[in-house]
Every structure is written in structure tokens, then in C-alpha cells.
Amino acid sequence: MEELEVGEVVTLSDDETGEEKDFQIMYIFDIEDRTYLCLVPEEQDDRDEVEVHFLRYDETDGMLYPIESEEEQENVIATFETLEAEFNE
């Protein structure tokens, strides 16, 4: 299975519309035994705020999955904010 890297572009398709959109991997991090990706749209407007998406990455099947619960989402966002603060120092 091919390993994903920061800076790599992945194409995701909307399940409802079938529309495809490219995202760049901004961060890859682990929480306990799960791996998460922080993705930003490859084509962003020049805005102060950047659109950020989080997905869980399963290394065994190479698939990306949505965050399963609100608690999991909160943990992922808190970890991301910590990583971003450390990066900006």
C-alpha cells in the first residue's frame, strides 16, 4: 500500500454529486491507534480563513474515512490546533 505524504494531492469525490475536488495534505498525525489527515482544497481563494477538512486514514486498506463521532472530531481538532501552534512558533 502506498504511503501518503504531507504536500501530496489527493482527489476526493462527493458521494451525493459525484463531483471531484483536489485536496493537499497539510498534516498527518496519529491519535492513539488511528491516523488522521488534515486536508485543504488545492485551489483556495485568497481569504484570511482556510477551509480545512479532517479524515481518518486506514493504512491497512489505504482508504480515507469520515470522522465517526463528535468526540473523535473534537480530539482531532484539538490535536490539529496544538500542531499548528507548535509549527507557528
pTM across the whole model: 0.83
Record the cell numbers describing residue 27, joined without a space: 498534516
Asked if residue 53 lies in contact with residue 42, where contact means CB atoms within 8 angstroms, the answer is: no
pLDDT in tens, 16-42: 888 999 999 999 999 999 999 999 998
Higher pLDDT, 78 or 49: 78
Share in percent of the chain as helix, strand, coil (round to 5): 20, 40, 40
By the 8 A CB rule, do 45 and 63 touch?
no
Q: Beta partners for 53? A: 39
